[in-house]
Amino acid sequence: MGIVSIDGWTVTQWDAIEGFKNGLHLFTLDELQEVAINNTEESQDVTGAGGSILNSNKRNKGCNGTGTNGLLSGGLMEVQTGGKQTTKDIVILQKDTITVTADMASANKVSITKTPTGTAGAEIQYVYVKGATEVVTTYQQAVDAGEGKFAYDNKEITFAASAIAEGNVVTVYYNVKLTDDTGVKITNDASKYSTECELVYTGLAKNACGKEACFQFSVPRADFTGNFNLEMGDSQTTHSFEWTALKNKCSTSNNFWDFIIFPDED
């Protein structure tokens, strides 16, 4: 049986939001926690004698959407920041905390866990040594170890004689380059801005007689803003978003959106 009217239907489930750019799939948000689609229009009264309303001028029609996905979406972040995800040339910060053993103290050396990347001679830059009195001494990287200086080579940090003692805690921060395709990065470039894409909301609807059907809510031009929050509180970090529908001038229909209910059958 076909569906010939929206009357009597209610949306019972928002399944997902799919994002596309010229047919290319950008993201799927399928852990939706909050969804809102707001439609707006302003009207200005045209008044006559005694202020009686004769007519109204309507303008500023618009539509915008907001929502929250329970999981982070890289594709959505690309649209919101204008950035691109990459799995190449990723550099992360590594922190090593090393408790000095008797052997390390006698050799005046400690080993770090990974190979640092960066400017030769400044791969580590500073090292912090907490002594027995809890006083933290900062050492600066130099070509050779000396007073207040340490040398680095091949995952080994060398101090001057007697600079470190057993039980001291050495803290080292340095950058490590990940092997390609072992991590992913998205960059929020200050010179790039959020972009637009086509959105299709999908889900289920039910009518008063208990009949279920699918719905699709399509926005040909959803212009995302760069306003989104990554927050942590009582629950996990969620991914919020907001967009404004743009008039689809490229189409003859000028649609902000289409709302379709259809039976899930061949």
Residues lying near other proteins in the complex (CB under 8 A): 118-122, 125, 140, 142-144, 146, 149, 151, 153-154
Of 121 and 167, CB closest to other proteins? 121
Of 120 and 135, CB closest to other proteins? 120
Of 71 and 142, CB closest to other proteins? 142
Phi, psi of 106 (to 5 degrees): -70, -30
Token representation of residue 20: 């596309």
State in angstroms the smallest separation of the CB of 154 from other proteins.
7
**H/E/C letters for each residue in 79-145?**
HHHCCCEECCCCEEEEEEEEECCHHHHHHCEEECCCCCCCCCCCCCCEEEEECCCCCEEEEEECCCC
Query: Can you say whether the dihedral through the CA atoms of 76, 79, 80, 85 is positive or negative?
Result: positive
- How far, in Å, are 40, 222, 254, 256 from residue 249 at the CA level? 19, 13, 6, 10
State in angstroms the smallest separation of the CB of 109 from other proteins.
15
Of 52 and 138, CB closest to other proteins? 138
State in angstroms the smallest separation of the CB of 88 from other proteins.
14
DSSP code, position 50: G
State in angstroms the smallest separation of the CB of 125 from other proteins.
7
Of 150 and 215, CB closest to other proteins? 150
Place of tokens 């995302």: 224
